[in-house]
Structure 1
Amino acid sequence: MHSQNFSKKKALLIEDMAEARIMQKKMLNDFGFGSIEIAMKAEIAIELLQNTTFDVILSDYNLGRGKDGQELLEELRHSNLIPHTTTYLMVTAETSIEMVMGAIEFQPDGYITKPFSQAVLQRRLDKMLTMKEKLLPVNLALDAGDLKKAITEAKVIAEEHPQLAGKCQRIVGESYLKLKDYRNAIAVFNKTLNERKMPWALFGKAQAKFHIGELDKAEQMFRQLMMDNRFFVSAYDWLAKIKMAQNLPQEAQQVLIDAVERSPKNLMRQIELGKVSLSLGDYDIAETAYRRAVFLAKNSCYNSPEIYFGHLKSIVKIAQEEHLLSRHEGNFNNTLKKLHNLFFDQPSVRATCYSYEIDLLLAKNDKKNAKQVFNTWSAESNSKQTTPLSDEQIATYQTAFGA
């Protein structure tokens, strides 16, 4: 096999453990990399990637305190900090299903399990970079956001390099999906499925069927994927969307419960389970989902006050229906504290925190402390630290206080 010339390549090594860092850097030096940057944690990697483009990123999954490798990759994808031309290899000592599922969901170009030899790493990088080179015109078009050009280039490369035909067909099909050209997307996915039963092609076809309103056919395909391939957790998300579109929220909830059991580290899925459960009045499941979401949000690029509000709301709802357990009260206070630390300088967040605090105290029939929070809110709204209470809120609370 053609061996890569790494001398003109730039590598970024993201590893928090000194020993592993030294060893991996030595391997990259031995391969002849022209430039090697080091990041000991995710935040440093993000800063580097805001200013520099690398040919290879070698990132560990466990990065000590702060974001782990999965959360880093999620942020880099979300912020478009990794171009399609970059090769991203996840390094892990873990082989737990939770880790594997999480890593797969954010699609690194590959992952390699510790311990690995220099020869194994070189073979992997050789293979991955050679493929990236062949796909360069497609990846440049994708980075430029020119999906039509990406489709044209992918068709040319599929002719020139038949071994990359499957990869190119996937790019073409997924580009048609993004362009909302569902008929052409289905034609491409059908062509693949006629040649080989590829899960990604069935997944793409099912999404296209969903978008053109053929929900029953889409459901059949997503269920087939779930049965055949336990790693395709995204199929569960789409099945839940179908159930919501069919106005079957209880079925959607069950699908999401199954999905979070398989891949619990997906923040957006936990939030969706929380939302659906709240709408069903299933406040215990909502509380669990939002509590997990609050934990995951800490290091996520999707962190927002709404996640924390969902958790507070679910606990208030529990308190309004039954005697509140001390565990729930502890969870409420923990989430409230996080809101104070992260978002309390926003007047609207401050106001929403006060409203949930009052609601919880009233549910416990603690009118005295509820009134104290009400007075604090009123005083702070006069000094513009918080958004003011609405007339409706004032009337509701004063009635509750017996004023």
Structure 2
Amino acid sequence: MNLKLARQSKVLVIDDQVLAKGYMKYSLEELGFHNIEYIDKVNQALQAIRREHFDLIICSYDLKNEQDGYYLYDQLKQDGDIAPSTAFVFISADTTPDIVHSIVELQPDDFLAKPFTVRELDKRLSRVLQRKQALKSIYQLMEKNLPEKALSLLEQFLSEPKNSEFFPLALKTKGELLEECGYYEQAIEFYQAILNVQSFAWAQLGAVRCLIQTDHDEDAEKRILELAFKPDCKLAAYDLLTALQIKQQEFDDALESVEVATEISPRNIRRHKTALDLSRITHDYEAQFEAAKRIVKFAKNSIHDKPENYLAVARAGIDFAMTADESQTFKLVKQTTEYLKQLKSSFPKADVDDQVKVIDARLLYLQDETDNAKALLSQLSNESWEAEELEGLLDKAKAFHEVGLVEHALNIIDVIERRCLQNPEQGKLFLHYIEQEKVEKTTITSSPKELNNAAVSHYQQGDLEEALEIFRQAFTIMPKNPSIALNLLQATAVEIKEQGLTDQAPQLIRNCIRTIENGKLTPEQEQRYHNVKSYLKDVV
């Protein structure tokens, strides 16, 4: 260890194990470090990092059930609180593939498995700190949000042979700076020049990012699919594929891609949130419920453990129950109630009374107690829409719509839409969902729970035209429901038999069949499907 470098480095050690902290203290002092701060709680570590600059952060991955170290670094990166000049090193006693994969995904500057010797620590820290020191002046410009100046200085750095030891890191940084400056075409040429020499994963991924930015979507997709088969790129490839599919508004495909990524690395909360947003847009209520449950599961005992997570599960459970059969509805209501109990137990002081009241009103509606649901909703204040949390406000709009107060619901959605447009940070997916909800709730005034029953009634009475219209509305907001799809398919077959084939019928039939064959039917429904499919096969 360069003694001068050690003495001028400010170090933060984050560990809640007394013995481990003692050994780390001894090891660092042996190597010449003396400006060292020790913290054992994540929130305190966050405050310290946001308050002052550290040259080196050594963080135990095994904080609070092996979660908080991961989430701490993920949060710091997401919020931009880790300066490029700060070296971040993970240490962990657990080296199972799942843990290692999760750590590598975050790309810290290094990862050290416990137990380790002072000599091994010396070797790792020397390498990390020397790299940071070599590029320090460039990093400082990046920290001041001066990417063009940083890029100019980096070009000078790369022109000096004495810096050749640090060229790999400098080249990767150059690509990132080109992207940050918006020089995407130049970045594509740069990444391709690198790839012509050696197939670095970072260059492959960088090239794809720039291709997406410059609307070379077909080339980007081709490269992504190649990267998805490479172990060191697979996860990042699925993230890029998700982003590309969202850009193209292929939301069903994007949901499938992000779900693959969540299976590879389940600890990443942001991916689960993306899955939740996409499942709402695609009306995949089961996927929405599962994504919300995973957020609660993986956020437990971490800085992401919040009352909003439990509320999200309860709301998703109700959304799912609105489209489910009677037996499944009972189970979903029970699970929803259980998550509300967990919320009260984990966060007894949380100010969520009004939000829980809305959820309770929706539960009453599910149990056919519409008048009681209305009475409960009437107790809510209408004066704080501009200040309310958006997800809570959205749930309130759904509740009012379900009990028949459609105009009131649409007024709330207008407020949500306006606030989203004023605050782009809310995200494009959420805004898209709100715009979709506005259209659907304007044109479809009945709740999902009511639509299918009304359509079946009209169908049985021989009112085919009205039945078809309502079945189509039901399928619009429940496109993953095989029972709805079968009813619509059967009604469409009757329409074709009586009135002939319309231009829209073939695509509608394909959509219905896709939903039916991806779902589960009762034996009676299976027989109905066989009969109607046989008829349509001859006609279409």
- Coarse TM-score class (shorter-chain normalised): 0.7 to 0.9
What corresponds to 1:196 in structure 2? 198
Task: Describe the shift of the 1:62–1:354 C-alpha distance in structure 2 as closer, same or farther (beyond 3 A).
Answer: same
What corresponds to 2:411 in structure 1? none
How many residue pairs match? The answer is 394
State how far apart, in whole Å, the 2-side matches of 1:377 and 1:291 are: 26
State how far apart, in whole Å, the 1-side matches of 2:188 and 2:252 are: 30
Displacement of 1:113 in angstroms is 0.7
Letter of the structure 2 residue corresponding to residue 126 of structure 1: S
Is the CA contact 1:61–1:91 (under 8 Å) kept in the aligned structure 2? yes
1:342-364 CA distance string (max 9 Å, x none): 8953xxx6555433332233223
What corresponds to 1:110 in structure 2? 110
Which aligned pairs between 1:129-278 and structure 2 lie closer than 5 A? 129-160=129-160, 161-230=163-232, 232-278=234-280
Tell me the secondary structure at the aligned position of residue 182 of structure 2: coil
What corresponds to 2:320 in structure 1? 318
Task: Describe the shift of the 1:302–1:115 C-alpha distance in structure 2 as closer, same or farther (beyond 3 A).
Answer: closer
- Bigger shift: 53-62 or 303-312? 303-312
- Bigger shift: 231-240 or 143-152? 231-240
Displacement of 1:394 in angstroms is 8.9
State how far apart, in whole Å, the 2-side matches of 1:382 and 1:281 are: 28
What corresponds to 1:285 in structure 2? 287
Tell me the secondary structure at the aligned position of residue 381 of structure 1: coil
Is the CA contact 1:70–1:103 (under 8 Å) kept in the aligned structure 2? yes
Query: So what's the TM-score if we normalise by structure 1?
Result: 0.86
Letter of the structure 2 residue corresponding to residue 42 of structure 1: V
Which aligned pairs between 1:327-346 and structure 2 lie closer than 5 A? 328-337=332-341, 341=347, 345=351
Tell me the secondary structure at the aligned position of residue 291 of structure 2: helix
Tell me the secondary structure at the aligned position of residue 111 of structure 1: strand
What corresponds to 2:499 in structure 1? none
Letter of the structure 2 residue corresponding to residue 328 of structure 1: L
What corresponds to 2:428 in structure 1? none
Is the CA contact 2:85–2:132 (under 8 Å) kept in the aligned structure 1? yes
Letter of the structure 2 residue corresponding to residue 261 of structure 1: E
State how far apart, in whole Å, the 2-side matches of 1:247 and 1:393 are: 27
State how far apart, in whole Å, the 2-side matches of 1:343 and 1:101 are: 37
- Bigger shift: 14-23 or 69-78? 69-78
Is the CA contact 2:65–2:301 (under 8 Å) kept in the aligned structure 1? no
Unpaired stretches in structure 2, ≥5 consecutive residues: 407-445, 448-540
Is the CA contact 1:41–1:64 (under 8 Å) kept in the aligned structure 2? no
Task: Describe the shift of the 1:271–1:343 C-alpha distance in structure 2 as closer, same or farther (beyond 3 A).
Answer: farther
Is the CA contact 2:14–2:60 (under 8 Å) kept in the aligned structure 1? yes
State how far apart, in whole Å, the 2-side matches of 1:290 and 1:298 are: 13
What corresponds to 1:49 in structure 2? 49
Task: Describe the shift of the 1:357–1:231 C-alpha distance in structure 2 as closer, same or farther (beyond 3 A).
Answer: farther
Displacement of 1:47 in angstroms is 2.4
Tell me the secondary structure at the aligned position of residue 13 of structure 1: strand
Larger radius of gyration: 2
Tell me the secondary structure at the aligned position of residue 64 of structure 2: coil
The RMSD of aligned alpha carbons is 3.2
Is the CA contact 2:272–2:292 (under 8 Å) kept in the aligned structure 1? yes
Letter of the structure 1 residue corresponding to residue 25 of structure 2: K
State how far apart, in whole Å, the 2-side matches of 1:103 and 1:23 are: 22
State how far apart, in whole Å, the 2-side matches of 1:252 and 1:8 are: 47
Task: Describe the shift of the 1:314–1:38 C-alpha distance in structure 2 as closer, same or farther (beyond 3 A).
Answer: same
Query: So what's the TM-score if we normalise by structure 2?
Result: 0.66
Tell me the secondary structure at the aligned position of residue 227 of structure 1: coil
Letter of the structure 2 residue corresponding to residue 12 of structure 1: L
- Bigger shift: 92-101 or 373-382? 373-382
Is the CA contact 1:98–1:265 (under 8 Å) kept in the aligned structure 2? no
What corresponds to 2:58 in structure 1? 58
- Bigger shift: 333-342 or 15-24? 333-342
Task: Describe the shift of the 1:75–1:214 C-alpha distance in structure 2 as closer, same or farther (beyond 3 A).
Answer: same
* Percent identity over paired residues: 24
Tell me the secondary structure at the aligned position of residue 256 of structure 1: helix
Task: Describe the shift of the 1:344–1:8 C-alpha distance in structure 2 as closer, same or farther (beyond 3 A).
Answer: closer
Displacement of 1:293 in angstroms is 1.5
Displacement of 1:329 in angstroms is 3.3
